[in-house]
Structure 1
Amino acid sequence: MSIGALMGAALLLLIIQLSVRGKTYGTNRTGDVLPAQPYQDLVELAIRRGWSASARWTERLGHAQTILEPRDGTHWRYTLERWNSVLGDAVYGHSPRDSEWLDTSLKFPDGTVIIGPRESPEAIAFITGMLGFLQSDKGRGLANGLHKLSAGMKHLPNPAGSDMPFTLLSNLSAAPALPYDIVARNLRMWTARRPDKEEHPVITYQPGGLSVRLIRSTLDPVLTEELIDFANALRRDL
């Protein structure tokens, strides 16, 4: 397996963790949350697009959130997290961050399905092998949050007879009925503009809602706007 394939597999493994780890930082105790200054580039984006922008600082957990939301009554929310704790810097590097588009009204109660970039069979074998190990008694605790993944996450073949530009991972035994053709069309339009794998959207259907992330987080307002538009186009087509 080449170094490039290993790096790609590692990137997807990371995004799997981010997609299904659960928002533990959202369960704040009384007195934790304080007003904060939103990230200015996202404020300017919100003003231009007619969205609302807000921010909060979670004192005990050491991070700030900038939140973009629509004013038209739809349910999506885009959240940019920025950690400022010493531990965060040590683990994630300088100015660690995370971002996600989420619509909690689009729930998928049957299980979790992650749609990531197309991977080689070798990379898929690496990813699923690592998932199995990290969910085992021996591997539990060796990676930040990966052992908390839903039990039985595995690779699923794409729907029969289809050449879809993505990889499916799920804790279900077979690919559920999802609008794969719509997902594929939107992903092809995205990758035609942004072929860099680190800028590939990862789509997660789960009981908590539909979420969309990039493999790498970003502070770039142009890329953020494109991600939100991609997610909303996907949402409208469902």
Structure 2
Amino acid sequence: MQFNKQYDFQEISNIPIYFVKTHNLALPIWGEFSKNIRNEKLELITFDYHTDTHRPFNSYYCSQCSQKEKRNYSLESDYIKRILKNKKYKREDFCFEDVYELADKYLRNDEQILTAYDFKYIDKYTVICSDELEEQSDLDTSCRQDLAWDYDARYYTKEYIERMGNIQTFESIILDFDLDYFCTINCFNDKFEKLISNLLTKTKLITIAIEQNYFESCKKDKFLDLEVVKKRLVKMLKENILNLKQRS
């Protein structure tokens, strides 16, 4: 892909893995990938301490408009239409550099998922959240809100998804991780690895957000180290991808 120079990158058995310094910068990667599989439905499965599903460009919009206008947020607002003007961000007319600029300048690192959906890079998203303060009932409320906005969404807590063991997904998946999901070393367990192994059978692309400040603020284990978590995740992904290849 043309943007390899922008990101740390590695490939395991034809599955590309991109490491992003802030989560919003995953957006152009998802867009570049989606334009090449136009005839397939694409689902984002994201593991994150937070839900990261704020409305597209919402923070930028609120910084520009009046207090009264904040209640009338819309992608069709003049504030947002102005920054999208002359940008090739649509799946069928896509320019990586344009979307990178939009993500870098105007998008917060909790707005990339709904932006990807509204830009039609993904057709569905599943959020798996490790924040221990989040109850499944709270996430169900978030899901109902997104469905009311016509987003095809699912939300699960870490504990709930591990009990399920697997989920039904589209045939093509983007597997996405924010390293702050791993708030304790116990997040790496047999149930998690089994779930990931199942998801990897349909995974076409992996993105990993490496944000030191969020990792430090979310971790529960005092001595947990970002680089150690990154290496452990990549090692687990590599082992499972290669095992799947051997079995196929």
Q: TM-score, normalised by structure 2?
A: 0.31
Q: Which has the larger strand fraction?
A: 1
Task: Give the structure, 1 or 2, with the largest relative contact order (CA under 8 Å, sep 6 or more).
Answer: 2
**TM-score, reference length from structure 1:** 0.32
